[in-house]
Chains A and B, each alone.
Chain A
Amino acid sequence: MTMDAASDNLIEVRDLCYSRGARPIFKDLNLTIQRGQITAIMGPSGTGKTTLLRLITRQLIPDHGAIFVDGVDISTLSQAKLYGMRRRFGMLFQNGALLTDLSVFENVAFPLREHTHLTNRLIRHVVLTKLHAVGLRGAADMMPAELSGGMARRVALARAMVMDPDILIYDEPFVGLDPISMGVIVRLVRRMNDALGISSVLVSHDVQEISTVADCSFLISDGKVAASGSPAELSHTTSKLVKQFMHGMADGPVAFHFEAPDYEEQLLGRDVE
């Protein structure tokens, strides 16, 4: 296990095994996230994409296997070091997860107030700058309840960025957005990544949008990586499963019918009795 000093592997997941109760979610999962790129993690619903994010940030602990962030095995970190590592991540939750009792401004300022001793003026500076970057400087005094879904997510993005993280993680950022808002988010994801020289991890099942923005994609199915590569490579794949997913086909390796007993028997069999 050599760890190069200037490794391009920002996050490495090795032989990850994780079960929730009796249900196995990941079986010997291996993937690598490169520095400076936008990496997408895709897969059918319920494959545990969000769970993978939680494992990477160590909100959950794997049953087997290891996760390395910048060459450091995160299972060896103390609570204090873990919090330190988490400060390098900026996470955008599915619903934005803004704190409902704080205004937009205060939400974005939250990490600053909690972790730094910056003066109010400086905080104001930073917050307004970040809000401007996502186009919502004018909404600074609104409450989260007054925001639309798209706006809430943009505020959450501003908050995720306020501590200048190295790694931005997006959990289903495109779900439930209208085309315009989606376009906005897509543009922001790309711009942030390139302008700030950070790395981004996108969890999504929106194949369309991902193919416009991701450098590298992983398709997870059945607890393992089913395919990986650039979006172009994936769309020309020969694998039936990947094809079904990328082209949105209703039936294929992921069956349309949920497991059930024989149709004829179930329908007619009972009547006979």
Chain B
Amino acid sequence: MFRDLFNTLKEFVRTFGAFQLFCLRLLRHSPSIFVKRFGLVVKQVYNTGALSLVIIMVCGFFIGGVLGLQGYSNLARFNAEDSVGTFAAFALVKELGPVITALLFAGRAGTALASEIGLMKATDQLSAMEMMAVSPIRRVLVPRFLGGVISMPLLAAVFSTIGLLGAHLVSVNLLGVDVGAFWQQMQQSLDISDINEGIIKSVVFGIIASLLAVWEGYNAVPTAEGVGRATTRTVVITAISVLILDFMITAIML
């Protein structure tokens, strides 16, 4: 029994080590690809970012609305409904914006990346590139990684903004909170450091989500089943990693 445990542990460490080397390779090629093959990166920003806008905006709006509702009903007990703005802004900018965007990103863009790359592996497209002396890492993986890293912070910002608008709509227009109080209280309580924290989080999440998606796709078993499994693993592992990192970053920045 212990031997199995030991073997599993060994496999885990080996995979983790391989993952680290993979990350280093991606990072090593990133600057040159960004400069020389910018068109590829643009296309990937479109694929991961622009195409995810709809889901991000819809979800952001409704989460903001919920924050407005919940915030109002709970703060009303202390006669502090005016603080709904602060409440919603804090929650969105510091936590929900980066985290939920990362989860949605993993679900929409992460799976798209993993399955696309896995499929390219299964249909020999990556081998064909190798044969044509084109590095698949440079041509396929790095642009997608960079596209994800650029898109995530932008998507998180959009999420938080639309969320605030949703909270505004619900609390001010529906529940009667004073417009001025909503924004003014928020402005007094929120600091530029809170926004920075949100940005840092979304950048870190973007990096980890893109890395995992690209890694899973590249290492997928080249069958239909293998690609499917790689896709689901992307979402699961990204979700777990994002939440763990969120805890760590919040603790560090507090």
* A contact residues vs B (CB 8 Å cutoff): 57, 59, 83-84, 86-87, 89, 91, 93-95, 97-100, 110-111, 114-115, 159, 163
Contacts and interface: CB of A to CB of B under 8 A. Distances in A.
A114 B134 contact: yes
Interface residues of B, number: 14
Contacts of A115: 133-134
B interface majority secondary structure: helix
Interface of B: 119-120, 123-125, 127-134, 139
B132 A97 contact: no
A97 B128 contact: yes
Interface centre among B119, B123, B133 (most CB of A within 10 A): B133
Interface centre among B123, B124, B125, B131 (most CB of A within 10 A): B131
Given A114-B133, A163-B132, 8 more contacts: A57-B131, A86-B131, A86-B133, A87-B133, A93-B124, A93-B128, A95-B123, A99-B128
Nearest to A163: B132
Nearest to B138: A114
A120 B149 CA distance: 31
Which 5 interchain pairs have the tightest Cβ spacing? A97-B128, A97-B124, A83-B133, A91-B131, A86-B133
Given A57-B131, A83-B133, A97 B139 contact: no
B215 to A, nearest CB: 20
A159 B129 CA distance: 11
Contacts of B132: 86, 91, 110-111, 114, 159, 163
Interface centre among A57, A86, A99, A115 (most CB of B within 10 A): A99
Contacts of B125: 97-100
30 contacts: A59-B131, A83-B133, A86-B131, A86-B132, A86-B133, A89-B131, A91-B128, A91-B132, A93-B124, A93-B128, A93-B131, A94-B124, A95-B123, A95-B124, A97-B125, A97-B128, A98-B125, A99-B120, A99-B129, A100-B120, A100-B123, A110-B134, A111-B133, A111-B134, A114-B132, A114-B133, A115-B133, A115-B134, A159-B132, A163-B132
A163 B134 CA distance: 13
Contacts of B120: 99-100
A97 B133 contact: no
Contacts of A159: 132
B11 to A, nearest CB: 16
A158 to B, nearest CB: 13
Contacts of A86: 130-133
Nearest to A91: B131
A114 B139 contact: yes
Contacts of A83: 133
A97 B132 CA distance: 12
A83 B125 CA distance: 17
A93 B127 contact: yes
A127 B131 CA distance: 19
Contacts of A163: 132
A87 B119 CA distance: 25
A59 B129 CA distance: 11
A98 B132 CA distance: 12
Contacts of A94: 124
Contacts of B133: 83-84, 86-87, 111, 114-115
Contacts of B134: 110-111, 114-115
Nearest to B43: A101
B135 to A, nearest CB: 8
Contacts of A98: 125
B127 to A, nearest CB: 7
Nearest to A169: B131
Contacts of B131: 57, 59, 86, 89, 91, 93
A154 to B, nearest CB: 15
Nearest to A59: B130
Contacts of B119: 100
Contact of B127 (A59, A110, A114): A59
B251 to A, nearest CB: 42
Nearest to B124: A97
A91 B130 CA distance: 10
Nearest to A111: B132
A97 B120 CA distance: 9
A253 to B, nearest CB: 31
B217 to A, nearest CB: 14
A70 to B, nearest CB: 17
B120 to A, nearest CB: 8
